[in-house]
Amino acid sequence: MENSRRDLGPLPGPDINADARTYWAAAAEERLVVQCCDECGIYRFYPRPLCPDCASDQATWTEVSGQGRVHTFTIVHRAPNKEFQAITPYVIALIDLDEGPRMMANIWATTPLRWPLATGSALSSKSAMAAPGCRSSSAPGINQYAPQQGHYRWRW
């Protein structure tokens, strides 16, 4: 992806319902949180009241490392709305968090991503991606990011 194409601008914020509220509230503070089951200890995503493994209704929101690996990705040329059209082509990926759960994300990279180069590429969110809900003018723009040692930055 060319840096010059990336004027990140405000992307549409997420729709939020009661299940999603805690997650996105943390994301707005640039913290990545997922639920961890109090009974079986399994991390789950997306958030919901019952553990899909043991059906326990007891869980604790837990901040996770933001480290993960790319399971798959696509470079999108046809976007659903004008905000995303403005930044095509962009990358959507499925990320396996080191803690276990899989989630969807955008990857911002300054060099073209090519499979299988990115297979299992390590990811880090420690560089504080702007969450979709974060519209603060101080939100970091993509131009600040360069790949480091095969690590890609991602926006969750």
Partner 1 sequence: MLRNKVIIAGVGDSDIGKVPDMSGLALNAQAAKRALDDAGMRMKDVDGLLTAYSLTEPYFMLGTVLAEYLGLQPTYCASLVVGGGTPGAALHHAAMAVTTGQAKVVLVTCGENRATGQSRDEAVNALTQVGHPYFENPYGPLVPAFYAMVTQRYMHEFGTQREDLAHVAVRARHHAVRHPNSPMKSEITVDDVLASKPIAEPLNMLDCCFISDAAGAFIVTTPDRAADLANRPAWLWGIGECHTHEHITLAPSLTEFGAVQSGSQAYEMAGVGPKDIDFAELYHCFTIVPIIEAEELGLAERVSGGELFASGETAIEGRLPINTHGGLLSYAQAGASGGIHGIVEAVRQLRGGESARQVPKHDIALIHNEGGVLSWHCTMILGRDKR
CB of 10 closer than 8 Å to CB of 135: yes
Residue 153 phi/psi, 5° resolution? -95, 150
* Among residues 7, 19, 53, 57, the one that binds Zn ion under rule CB under 5 A: 53
CB of 71 closer than 8 Å to CB of 64: no
111 makes contact with partner 1 (CB under 8 A): no
Contacts (CB under 5 A) with Zn ion, residues 30-49: 37, 39-40
Instruction: Between 90 and 152, name the residue whose CB sits nearer to partner 1.
Output: 90
* Spatial separation of the C-alpha atoms in residues 131 and 13, rounded to whole Å: 9
Amino acid at 62: T
Judged by the rule CB under 5 A, the positions of this chain that interact with Zn ion are 37, 39-40, 51, 53-54, 56
Judged by the rule CB under 8 A, the positions of this chain that interact with partner 1 are 11-17, 19-20, 23-24, 45-46, 71-81, 84, 89-90, 92-94, 102-106, 115-116, 119, 132, 155
